[in-house]
Amino acid sequence: MIPSSFDYSAPTTLEEALNLLEEIGDEAKILAGGHSLIPMMKLRFAEPEHLIDLSNVPGLSYINTEGNTVKIGAMTREVDAEESEELNKLFPIFKDVGKLIADPQVRNFGTLGGNLAHGDAANDQPAVMMALNAEIEIIGKEGTRTVGIDDFFFGFYATAVEEGEILTAIKIPIPDGKFGSAYHKSERKVGDYATGGVGVQLTFDSSGTCTKAGIGLTNVNPTPLRASRSEEALVGTTVTDEVIEQAAQFASEDCNPSADLRGDEDYKRRIIKVLTKRMIVKAKERAFS
């Protein structure tokens, strides 16, 4: 299948890309890795009139530690986050999620920025970024602004990236104290979107008390979902089995899955409960290892 006709530009600076976005207006779309957009265009679910390819804009693909923040460029490929030793030493969640996103060929092309900007609750990076409490850097004609991950996802395919804007980077705070992260999703087969997925990051003080918890859920709500009640249940405790059980129960109650070919609502809630439990255990283990 072939997409409907469109025009194509490959600017070589961000400024040029922003000018093109302004000139062309809402018929223009950014092309990053193209591995969400092109499949949708082939099926004619999307028919943009003009693609603005970011591949030739230098300086958008990097993983840098700056003080207590790790900054990841929007055009960083999934494979590069999966394979980065520097990133995974701090946040092993990227190795977990890397292996579970699509397949190696897709990860060679798909970008982290695109995975978030696509605004699809079935994608895996949104829940990871919620667990890690990331901030998203967005550039427009008026300059750069930063949006917290909780204010980023609006609805189905809708994010805080507005018309005329480009997502440029993801900023992940490095917590104080001991911290560990983990992600897993249940999938019918390799390469499938999640039946349900859970990302967790836990931070502990020197006495072993959990000071911060981040839990993001994949594909069990119209938008990527933060499991707030579960997080609150963990903070201030030493994350005992009892507390973990309670947090997992909250996640399964607070998500809003809809029945589809991957399972009915009840099944998905059970998946979320089991995975929440397992990922809390794994994140805790990693925090202390």
Which residues bind to ligand FAD, rule: CB under 6 A? 29-37, 39, 54, 74, 101-102, 106, 110-111, 113-115, 117-118, 123-125, 161, 166-167, 191, 193
| Shortest Cβ 219–ligand FAD spacing (Å) | 9
Residue 207's SS3 state is coil
Q: What's phi and psi for 37, nearest 5 deg? A: -70, -50
C-beta of 34 vs 173, nearer to ligand FAD: 34
| Shortest Cβ 252–ligand FAD spacing (Å) | 22
Give Cβ neighbours of residue 15 (< 8 Å, ≥ 6 apart): none
What sign results for the dihedral spanned by CA atoms 168, 86, 232, 207? negative
Residue 54's SS3 state is coil
d(CA 109, CA 114): 10
Query: Which one of 7-15, 65-73, 176-184, 253-261 is the stretch in contact with another protein (CB under 8 A)?
Result: 7-15
261 binds another protein (CB under 8 A): no
- DSSP code of residue 111: B
| Shortest Cβ 287–ligand FAD spacing (Å) | 25
C-beta of 5 vs 206, nearer to another protein: 5
Give Cβ neighbours of residue 22 (< 8 Å, ≥ 6 apart): 141, 164
Residue 43: how many CB atoms within 10 A of its CB? 10
Give Cβ neighbours of residue 154 (< 8 Å, ≥ 6 apart): 119, 160, 223
C-beta of 247 vs 272, nearer to ligand FAD: 272
| Shortest Cβ 72–ligand FAD spacing (Å) | 12
C-beta of 2 vs 261, nearer to another protein: 2
**Contact partner at residue 166 from another protein, ligand FAD, none, CB < 5 to 8 Å by partner kind:** ligand FAD
d(CA 246, CA 251): 9
Binder of another protein out of 105, 144, 238, 256 (CB under 8 A): 105
Residues that bind another protein (CB under 8 A): 1-8, 10, 31, 34-35, 38-39, 41-43, 51, 53, 55, 99, 102-106, 108-109, 190-191
